[in-house]
Structure 1
C-alpha cells in the first residue's frame, strides 16, 4: 500500500520544493516536501478556504491538518495580535510548518504533531480551520467536525472546505446535527469546493 500524507512518520525520500505564493495579499515563500499534502503547490481547496475565512485580529486560531502551513500562516497574518496553533499527524509536515513560519518571519504561531485534537485536549479556540484529510476516511473527517465543538469558545467558529464529490453534503449534515441547523452556513463555493462555517453558541 502506498504511503499517504496522513502517515505519522513518512518514509518517502525527501524531495524539497520551494513555492512562492500570495495568500490574502500576503506574499509567502514556502518549502514543501515529498510525503506531505499538496507538495507541488497550495491546493485549490486550501486557497478557497483562505480567501473566505474571517476572525478577529486577536483571535486564538487552530489549523487542524496544517500540512506545510499555508492556511495557518495566512491566518497568522490575518490575526497579528492573536496566535495560531498548527497541528498535523505527519511529523514532516509539522517540521515544514515551523520552518516556513521562521522563513517568513511569522512569530505568532506554534506547531505540533497531533492525532486530530489529541495535543490540544482541554484547550478552546476562537476559530478552527481545516481542509480535512478526505483520504483518511469519513470516520476521521467526521471526528474533526464533531469534536470541534469541544474545542471552540462561545461565539467561535469551525471553518472547513470540502469538495461536493468528496462528501460536502454529508459533512454539512454532520455539522448541522452537531452545531444545530441554524448555526451552519455555506460561506462560499468555487469549482465544486464548499466552505462551511459552523458557529458555537
Structure 2
C-alpha cells in the first residue's frame, strides 16, 4: 500500500484504518485531497484561530494537513467510525500529539465530531469532500445554510465523475452561487458564495426517510432512515430474503453486524421480544436510525439493546467479549467509500468467529457471485446454504 502522501513541501504518512486488512492497491487520499490542499495553501490560506470546518475527510488526510499547517480552530466531522480511527492513527503516525474525548474521538490537535453533532456557528471556512451518498450531502448543506454567513468561504472537492449537475444544484439550492474549477488529475473543486436569501428558505430539519415493513411474523414496523443509511428508501432485496428465513429465540445473545437501519435486529425482536440485540455499525447515522427504530417499534425492548460504533466487531472483542454470542446476523458491504473490496466482509467473518460461543452461528446474506461460502468454509470448517434465489444466498456457519 502506498502510504506516502507528498503535497507541496510536505510528506505525510497515511493509512486506511485498519491498515493490516487493506488491499495493497488502496491509499488513504486521492487527487481531490491534493487539489484542495494546493488551492487552500496558495490561494485561500486559513486565518489563525478562525473556525475551519472539514466535512467527510475519508481517512484523515485533510485533518492531518490542516493540523500541521494551520493555526485555525479545526472542527472535523465524519459519519464513519473508521474515518475517525484513521484520523487518530494518522495524526499519531505523523508525530502530532493526540488527545481524546470521553467518547474516544480525537479532541486535539483537531476537534473531531460525529456527523450527528451540531455544527459550530459562523465558521470562517468550510472544506467539504463530496460524499458518496447525495442524501448526506443535502443534509449537510441544509445544516450549513443555518450556520454560515455571507463571508464564509466554502470549498468542496471530488473526483470529476462526482461533480454532477445534481450536486451543483444542491449547493445552489441551499447556499448560493456555485462555480467549479478546471479538472486536474481527474478531480475538481467547487466554490460557493453564500447568499442570505438562499439561507433563509431552508431552516427546517433535514427529513428522515420513513417506510413501513412487516416482520417475518407479520408485525408492522415503521423504519426510520437518516441520510447516510444504506438502502434508506426501501428494504434491500438481500435483507428481504434474510427476513423470510430468520430464526431467533428469547434470551439469545444476537449481533446485527453492519446493522444499517437495524432491520435484521428489529425482525429478531419481533420474533423474540426477550432476545438481547447488539447493533453494530461504523456509521453513526446508521446506529442512530437503529436506535430510533427500536424506540419506536419495540419500546419495551430498549433495555435489551445496545448500539456500538465499531470497525466490524473490534470494539466488542477489545472489551473481552469473545465466545459470548449465539448468533451474528450479517449483510456485509462489498465497498468502502468508492472502492470495491472484500476485506470488510473477511474481517467481519473473522471477528464473528471470535465473538460466537461454541455452537453459535454466523448467518450471512450476500450476492451469490461473491462466493462467500469459500471463505466461510475455510474459517469455520463448514457452511450450509439456508436459502437462495437467483441473486442472493443465505449461508450459515457454526463455530465448532
Query: Structure 2 length normalisation: TM-score?
Result: 0.46
Q: Which residue of 312, 316, 322 maps to 1:120? A: 316
Using the alignment, how far apart are the partners of 2:351 and 2:381 within structure 1? 14
Secondary structure of 2:251 counterpart: coil
Mapping of residues 51-90 of structure 1, within 5 Å = 51-90=244-283
- In structure 2, which of residues 322, 325, 332 is the aligned counterpart of residue 132 of structure 1? 332
For 1:26 and 1:55, locate their aligned partners in 2 and report how far apart those are by CA, in whole Å.
15
Q: Which has the larger radius of gyration?
A: 2
Q: Which residue of 2 aligns with 1:149?
A: 353
- RMSD of Structure 2 on Structure 1 (CA): 1.9
Q: Per-residue displacement from partner, 1:158-177 (whole Å, max 9, x unpaired)?
A: 00000023x1x2x1111000
- Give the ranges of 4+ consecutive aligned residues of structure 1 lying more than 4 Å apart after TM superposition: none
- Return the offset for 1:110: 1.8
State the aligned residue count.
Answer: 194
Aligned to 1:42: 235
Aligned-pair CA distance for 1:119:
2.1
Q: Secondary structure at the match of 2:358?
A: strand
Cα contact 1:76–1:109 (8 A) shared by 2: no
Q: Is the 8 A contact 1:61 1:129 kept in 2?
A: yes
Task: Give per-residue Cα distances to partners, 1:7-45, cap 9 Å, x unaligned.
Answer: 445553144111111021221011112211001011110
Shift of 1:57: 2.2
Q: Following TM superposition, by how much is the alpha carbon of 1:75 offset from its aligned partner in structure 2, in angstroms? A: 0.9
Deviation at 1:56, TM superposition (A): 2.5
- Do structure 1's residue 193 and structure 2's residue 385 form an aligned pair? no
Residues 124-177 of structure 1 deviation map (CA, whole Å, 9 limit, x = unaligned):
210000000111321111111122110001111000000023x1x2x1111000
Is this contact kept in 2: 1:149–1:179, CA < 8 A? yes
Aligned to 2:374: 173
* Corresponding residue for residue 50 of structure 2: none
Q: How much has 1:79 moved relative to structure 2? A: 2.2
Ranges in structure 2 where 5+ consecutive residues have no aligned partner: 1-31, 33-55, 59-78, 82-113, 116-135, 140-205
CA contact (8 A) 1:23 1:47 kept: no
Aligned mates of 1:162, 1:98 — CA distance in 2: 24
* Partner residue, 2:220: 27
Contact preservation (8 Å) 1:45, 1:131:
yes
**Which runs of no fewer than 5 residues in structure 1 stay unpaired?**
none
Q: Which of the pair has the greater relative contact order for Cα pairs under 8 Å at 6+ separation?
A: 1
* C-alpha distance in structure 1 between counterparts of 2:234 and 2:351, whole Å: 29
* Counterpart-to-counterpart distance in 1, 2:367 and 2:386: 14
